[in-house]
Amino acid sequence: EVQLVESGGGLVQPGRSLRLSCAASGFTFDDYAMHWVRQAPGKGLEWVSGISWNSGSIGYADSVKGRFTISRDNAKNSLYLQMNSLRAEDTALYYCAKAALKLRPLSYFDYWGQGTLVTVSS
């Protein structure tokens, strides 16, 4: 059974940093691209960042470019999101999502974690 478990969320002051983690199990982690998607309270889904299976291709939404860094450790079946210079508008539930297609750059998402809540407030 595929499982994605996010952690690392919490309350943080504006300008500070936070690192999110996503522990994956139930599939061959290093065969699939992975993504972070966020959802502000009462709002829609916003893609944040994605990383290919071998970390060779990485992308960011314009809203987080230069502040957030995605990475993965295939030996640990883990995905990360380093978030620096946090702003109030980064407050959201952050989901980890798995690409559906093995070793394919263009893919939709077939599994999502339950999310970890990040609140940026003084």
Partner 1 sequence: DIQMTQSPSSLSASVGDRVTITCRASQGISNYLAWYQQKPGKVPKLLIYAASTLQSGVPSRFSGSGSGTDFTLTISSLQPEDVATYYCQKYNSAPLVTFGPGTKVDIK
Contact set with partner 1 (CB under 8 A): 33, 35, 37, 44-47, 50-52, 57-59, 61-62, 95, 100, 105-110, 112-115
What is the smallest separation between the CB atom of 13 and partner 1, expressed in angstroms?
28
Q: Return the number of the residue (12 or 93) whose C-beta is nearest partner 1.
A: 93
Q: Return the number of the residue (13 or 62) whose C-beta is nearest partner 1.
A: 62
DSSP string, 96-113: EEEESSTT-SS--EEEE-
What is the smallest separation between the CB atom of 55 and partner 1, expressed in angstroms?
11
Q: Return the number of the residue (43 or 76) whose C-beta is nearest partner 1.
A: 43
* CB burial of residue 38 (10 Å; 0-12, 13-18, 19+): buried
Which amino acid does the sequence have at 107? S
Q: Which of 87, 80, 92, 81 shows the shortest CA–CA distance to 118?
A: 92
Q: Return the number of the residue (8 or 115) whose C-beta is nearest partner 1.
A: 115
3-class secondary-structure state, position 1 = coil
Q: Are 68 and 83 in contact, with CB atoms under 8 Å apart? A: yes
